Structure 1
Amino acid sequence: MTSIARSSLLRQLAAARSATQQNVIAKAARATAFHTTARRDILPPLPQRVDGTVNDPAPVPPTSPSHGSYHWTFDRLVAGSLIPLTVAPFAAGSLNPTLDALLCATILIHSHTGFQNIIVDYVPAYRMPRARKLFIWGLNAATAVVGLALYEFETSDVGITEAVKRIWTA
């Protein structure tokens, strides 16, 4: 009802004002799309180097049966064997130390190969050879420590399946 009472001049002025505000808002939105944050590098770039010339072919790495499809197949077999090894002690109702040791070894191998794949994928040897070697040695040391801890837990305590059973029924 109030819009009818306004004069046409007031209506035209209000329309021009809202169009100007919308134009300013649109320009500000376009400008802020590119200027919202400052560009900051989280880490400095790694050292760059060029081996050879532009016309040299890319080096082809030597083939190895421990990498590629054989490695992937081994990882899938280990991961698939974890399912029956986890279910078998609880389904059979008996706690067998041999089965428990096999489960611990499979978990350890599965974890080691998984972390090794992460290191191979995300720490390239051609850019960071020392860091990659450090990560691989750290992984080997951690695997040895966890293997020793699992061995101690199996021999001097209740074992992994009994511990899981106790936690599950607690």
Structure 2
Amino acid sequence: MRSTQRQQAAVAGNPTKSYIEGTVNEPTKFPPPSPSHGSYHWTLERSLSIALVPLIAAGAAKHGASGVIDGALALSLVVHSHIGFDACLQDYLHKRKYPVAGPIGTWALRVATVGTLVGIYEFQTNDVGFTELIAKLWAA
């Protein structure tokens, strides 16, 4: 196939030919800047990471005694993990190159996160709690 035909197929949006639009000499199209995907998102991630330090210390000092600390620590760890795994999926399983596996991975992560939150809620309300479990495992 000639390069002009391949280029025309790519520009026409034919998915069987190529997913690249245009030629190699055209600049990359960047999404419009958005604070929710930039500085606000970064600030939320860093704040959550910093908040884990005193929550872990408080949970270690008062393990099992405070349901609020248990809940805050568990929620923070799950959200922190979700953000980290989502960043890995965006970097290595992005939708542009993997149009089927990318969304499946993203939805699998969302389902796993919701399932983890439900499981931790059940464990917090019907069992010893998150920090008490860690204290028992640490002592074992």
Give the alignment's TM-score, normalised by structure 2.
0.78
Give 2:117's match in structure 1, choosing from 142, 147, 159. 147
Query: In the TM superposition, what is the alpha-carbon distance from 1:168 to its structure 2 partner?
Result: 2.0
Cα distance in 1 between the residues matched to 2:23 and 2:138: 62
1-side partners of 2:39 and 2:99: how far apart? 24
Rounded Cα–Cα distance in structure 2 between residues aligned with 1:164 and 1:79: 20
Cα distance in 2 between the residues matched to 1:132 and 1:66: 22
CA RMSD of aligned residues (A): 2.0
Equivalent pairs counted in the alignment come to 124
Q: Which runs of 5 or more residues in structure 1 are unaligned?
A: 1-46
TM-score (norm 1): 0.65
Could you tell me which runs of 5 or more consecutive residues in structure 2 were left unpaired when the two chains were aligned: 1-16
Identity among equivalent pairs (%): 40
Is the aligned partner of 1:52 residue 2:22? yes
Is the alpha carbon distance of 1:114 and 1:61 closer, same or farther for their aligned partners in structure 2, counting shifts above 3 Å? same
| Pick aligned residue for 2:104 from 105, 114, 134 | 134
Tell which has more relative contact order, 1 or 2 (C-alpha 8 A, sep 6+): 2
Letter in 2 for 1:127: K
Match of 1:164 among 113, 134, 138: 134
User: CA shift at 1:129, angstroms?
Assistant: 2.3
Distance 1:97 1:57, change over 3 A: same
Helix, strand or coil: the match of 1:140?
A: helix
In structure 2, relative to structure 1, the CA distance for the partners of 1:124 and 1:93 (3 Å cut) is closer
| Structure 2 partner of 1:26 | none
User: Is residue 106 from structure 1 mapped to residue 76 from structure 2 by the alignment?
Assistant: yes
Change (3 A) 1:48 1:155: same
Which of 17, 33, 37 aligns to 1:67? It is 37
- CA shift at 1:126, angstroms? 1.7
Structure 2 vs 1, CA of residues 94 and 100 (structure 1 numbering), >3 Å: closer, same or farther? closer
1:94 Cα offset (Å):
6.6
